[in-house]
Chains A and B, each alone.
Chain A
Amino acid sequence: GQSLEQPSEVTAVEGAIVQINCTYQTSGFYGLSWYQQHDGGAPTFLSYNALDGLEETGRFSSFLSRSDSYGYLLLQELQMKDSASYFCAVRVNTNAGKSTFGDGTTLTVKP
């Protein structure tokens, strides 16, 4: 079976840094993605890691360690608009890019 574990809720203050972890146990692994979803909105793509290491995109960074089956999303200089749900997803096959999603982490940013 496939399982992805991420915290259900995280709270942080504006301007702070927050890290959302994701550990996975899947039958295949071809990459780890992160998506953001605001209430009532569609998930939007944030990042993708296929190889170990850190990928940086503006205030957001994503890290992967394949040997530890672990990744994280790092959000810096938090803003109120970052309050949303964040999902990690593991691409489990090469055919059609089938991905398994975690249950999501709700991030609340407080003033």
Chain B
Amino acid sequence: DVKVTQSSRYLVKRTGEKVFLECVQDMDHENMFWYRQDPGLGLRLIYFSYDVKMKEKGDIPEGYSVSREKKERFSLILESASTNQTSMYLCASSPSDGRKAFFGQGTRLTVV
């Protein structure tokens, strides 16, 4: 079975902390994505990567950065967490044609 694994299911952090969300896929996919999901707002793309060390901003990149040092791993970094970054974060991967994405179970982050 194909798998996208996010390191934490639930996370509570304090305002101002640096936060790392990790995502690993075992499908040898070229593309990886980070989304945040808030009630009524669907999935909004934060950053995506189409190759190792390659990254592009999505629709809402402010306050976030990413790292892709290995093909299977894509990390989302909140440089200084703020309460408005409390959300569900979803990682996904897809093959190069981008037709079908596989999602992780999500990390529910609460910033207090």
Contact = CB atoms under 8 A, between A and B. Distances in A.
Interface size class of B (residues with CB under 8 A): 20 to 34
Interface residues of A, number: 27
Interface stretch (B12-20, B35-43, B79-87): B35-43
A101 B48 CA distance: 14
Interface string B30-63: 1101010000111111001110000010110000
B97 interface: yes
B45 A97 contact: no
Contact of A99 (B56, B98, B102, B104): B98
Contacts of B43: 43, 87, 89, 101
Contacts of A50: 99
B95 to A, nearest CB: 8
B103 A42 contact: yes
B50 A95 contact: yes
Given A87-B43, A96-B98, A99-B101, 13 more contacts: A2-B59, A35-B101, A42-B4, A43-B43, A43-B90, A45-B100, A95-B50, A96-B31, A96-B48, A96-B56, A97-B97, A98-B33, A101-B35
B101 A45 contact: yes
Contacts of B33: 96, 98
Interface string A68-95: 0000000000000000000101010011
Contacts of A104: 42
B42 A42 contact: no
Nearest to B42: A103
B105 A42 contact: yes
B72 to A, nearest CB: 16
